[in-house]
Amino acid sequence: MSRKTMIAGNWKMNNTVAEARELVEGLKARASEIAGVDVVVCPPVTTLAYAAEQFAGTPVKVGAQNVHWAESGAYTGEVSASMLKEIPVEYVIIGHSERRQYFGETDGTVNQRVKAALAAGLTPIVCVGELLEQRETGETEAVVKTQVEVGLDGLTADDAAKIVVAYEPVWAIGTGLTASPEQAQEVHAFLRNLLRGLFGAVADGIRILYGGSMKPANAKDLLAQADIDGGLIGGASLKADDFMGIILSG
């Protein structure tokens, strides 16, 4: 089954309104170069609506970086899926390692967020990945297996067909240390088999993105791997030319 490449930019906690304007304008100016690749940008909440408005009618889609599972209520600092849909936003990153490390995100809360996103018609980009010490002790597969099994617990095959998975080895995020194409492919193939065991043939259509110091210089080799279907880009998504360089590698 052929899978359309997806290049998603995770701005994380970056870009003031003025900085976002410069980046959005830079991407819009080059949007006509985008062909055959799904492109998503995920700004912080302060510039989500602005980005959604600016990219309307262009090939660039917009995503959020988190979503709460409740419809509304006393959850200070959170946003609901229906709030994101209203903007409108189409994608949402769930379970990023920074949320797991610094904000107490667990596989259980990832699961609740994924279900809420799907129920609202948002496409979850579900992140998994091991810490350096887990890789060094040979636990990578066990770690990502639990993250997938618990994070996607209770999903039907139809649900699973709507998600995107991102493999982001934590030791490669923001460090300049990229997983080699072979190291990444090995985990992506493991994830694909795992998804096949859980959801059957739809696993062949699920995009599995790689994230962790992807840049124009290494994107092509990573994206050439059989089970690497795109990238989730942090630092290099903050400069229009770098992000476009990765998009054009896809």
Catalytic residues: 96, 168
Give one word for 138, left, alpha or beta, with left for phi > 0 and alpha for psi -120 to 50: left
- Per CB under 6 A, the list member of 5, 7, 10, 247 interacting with ligand 13P is 10
DSSP structure string for 12-64 = -S---HHHHHHHHHHHHHTGGG--SEEEEEE--HHHHHHHHHHHTTSSEEEEE
Which residue is associated with the tokens 């998603």? 8
The CA distances from residue 40 to 98, 192, 247, in Å, are: 19, 22, 10
- Per CB under 6 A, the list member of 213, 227, 230, 249 interacting with ligand 13P is 213
- Per CB under 6 A, the list member of 83, 235, 246, 247 interacting with ligand 13P is 235
Residue 234 in tokens: 């942090």
For ligand 13P, the closer CB: 187 or 202: 187
228 lies in the site for ligand 13P, by CB under 6 A? no
Distance between CA 39 and CA 20 in Å, rounded?
17
According to DSSP, the β-strands at 37-42 and 60-64 are parallel
Stretches 78-86, 109-117, 183-191, 233-241: which one binds ligand 13P (CB under 6 A)?
Answer: 233-241
174 lies in the site for ligand 13P, by CB under 6 A? yes
212 lies in the site for ligand 13P, by CB under 6 A? yes
User: How far apart are CB 195 and ligand 13P at their closest, in Å?
Assistant: 20
- Per CB under 6 A, the list member of 24, 51, 232, 244 interacting with ligand 13P is 232
- Per CB under 6 A, the list member of 95, 230, 234, 250 interacting with ligand 13P is 234
Q: Is the dihedral of CA 107, 145, 218, 247 positive or negative?
A: negative
Stretches 144-152, 155-163, 191-199, 211-219: which one binds ligand 13P (CB under 6 A)?
Answer: 211-219
Stretches 100-108, 145-153, 156-164, 231-239: which one binds ligand 13P (CB under 6 A)?
Answer: 231-239
For ligand 13P, the closer CB: 163 or 173: 173
30 C-beta neighbours (distance < 10 Å), count: 14
168 lies in the site for ligand 13P, by CB under 6 A? yes
DSSP structure string for 104-126 = ---HHHHHHHHHHHHHHT-EEEE
Binding site for ligand 13P (CB under 6 A): 10, 96, 168, 173-174, 211-214, 232-236
